[in-house]
Amino acid sequence: MANLENGTFKKLDVVVVGGGLVGSLEALFLAKRGHRVRLYEYREDIRNTPQARGRSINLALSIRGRTALREVGLEDHMINNHGIPMKGRNIHRIDGSTYIIPYDSRTKQCIYSVGRNYLNGLLLQESEKYENVERFFNHKLIASNLREGFLSFQKTDTKEIVEVNADLIIGADGAFSAVRKEIMKQPLFDYNQKYIEHGYLELCIPPDSNGGFQMPPNYLHIWPRGEFMMIALPNQDCSWTVTLFMPFTHFKSLDNEDKLLKFFEKYFPDSIPLIGKQKLIADYFAGSASPLIAIKCRPYNVEDKALIIGDRAHAVVPFNGQGMNAGFEDCTILNQLFQKHHDDLAKILKEFSDTRWEDTFAISDLAMYNYIEMRDLVTRPSYLLRKAIDDVIFWLMPKVWIPLYNSVTFSTIPYTQCIKNRQWQDKVLNRSLLFLGTVTSPVGAFYVYKKFVGLS
């Protein structure tokens, strides 16, 4: 349905299900366009609740996410007042020594460690500035008719039923989306989910005795150990969020304090004095390993009435740092389509659904690959050699040769194109190495000379 009637703009009545990062950001984009927005969230207002254990408290913000925040006027605040720049990976060997792999040795770009709760709270607080945005917390979606724009919620505190109608329903309610569950009932909806065999568990490195960082703060610290790894991101209070990723069988085997300490003494010895033995034991056994899921599905829309975005459309494993950034990019692209099609929902939702899935499938595959890179490949000489070659060519020809990580993290090049660029680069390097290997042998030199110079 077009929303320009006789040249007059028609305000849409939009319901966004999910008040997390992507949902609250999308509410801001729609509010800026003048539409009425009602934001429904199952949980309490995150601004009034403590951080839930097991949910990563900090995230890596890169250019795709920054672009979206810039559009709603929040980028400068996050970068200048909150985010901690991380300019590379700081790799921890078993013997305790470290080495640094810069993210961008040419232009010195970096990613930023940001607090999940802080950013979510900031987005919600920003929505308070718009009279056309209403927020409803403690509302659980219990029924819907998406084709009719109908939703039924139950208040989790009073059990009261609330029924609403909307011109557009946007599902932004996480990887286990209630809105997507309803879309799955539609004909021709493709859905695939994959749990990997590895889980994660969060630990913490506290500040030092003076209240400062115990490690150099401007890096993502990684302890790669082949089949598993540990990472640490800096927090504003000078603590570190430490995440241990490994197969569930490993977690299950570490079932007492002695086994846990022996495991860390063998694989992560330098982390023990940073975390503290007693804190390590307490934090490890305070919870259990959480699963990691990747979701691919399509289409994302139900006619011109409903759309899913963010994790509910394309949950990815966290190893490329693109989950939040890809979700925020959804909001940017959707806003561009609102402008392009003058708020015509039929055209907007169809184009988003027809085109976005290819890039979200691509970043899902890239995230899976990056786990192998982070826990294993970064320790191999072949990886470091390839990284050095990429950096040199990128320095010489920055518009022609953009390394894979740089294109994913420091550009808005579509994810599918990032993969195609990498495949082209692989072909160029393979052919170059084959040529060099040929000409550096006497027989090869003779062959090349005869073939290309014309020796008779």
pLDDT in tens, 112-127: 999 999 999 999 999 9
In this predicted model, what pLDDT tens digit does every residue of 278-325 receive, in sequence order? 999 999 999 899 999 999 999 999 999 999 999 989 999 988 889 999
Strand, helix or coil at 374? Answer: helix
DSSP 10-63: ---EEEEE--SHHHHHHHHHHHHTT-EEEEE-SS--GGGSPPPTTS-SEEEE-H
What confidence tens digit (pLDDT) does each residue in 378-400 have?
Answer: 788 888 888 899 999 999 999 99
DSSP character for 105? T
Q: Mind listing the pLDDT tens digit for each residue in 78-88? A: 999 999 999 99
Q: What is the largest CA-CA distance in the chain?
A: 93
CB 168 within 8 A of CB 14: yes
Cβ neighbours of residue 383 closer than 8 Å, sequence gap 6 or more = 373, 377
pLDDT of residue 257: 97
Q: Which CATH number fits domain 13-85+109-193+294-373: 2.102.10.10, 3.50.50.60, 3.90.1150.10, 3.40.1160.10?
A: 3.50.50.60
Q: Domain coordinates of the chain in residue numbers? A: 13-85+109-193+294-373, 195-291, 380-445
Is pLDDT larger for residue 244 or for residue 52?
A: 244
Mean pLDDT of all residues belonging to the chain: 90
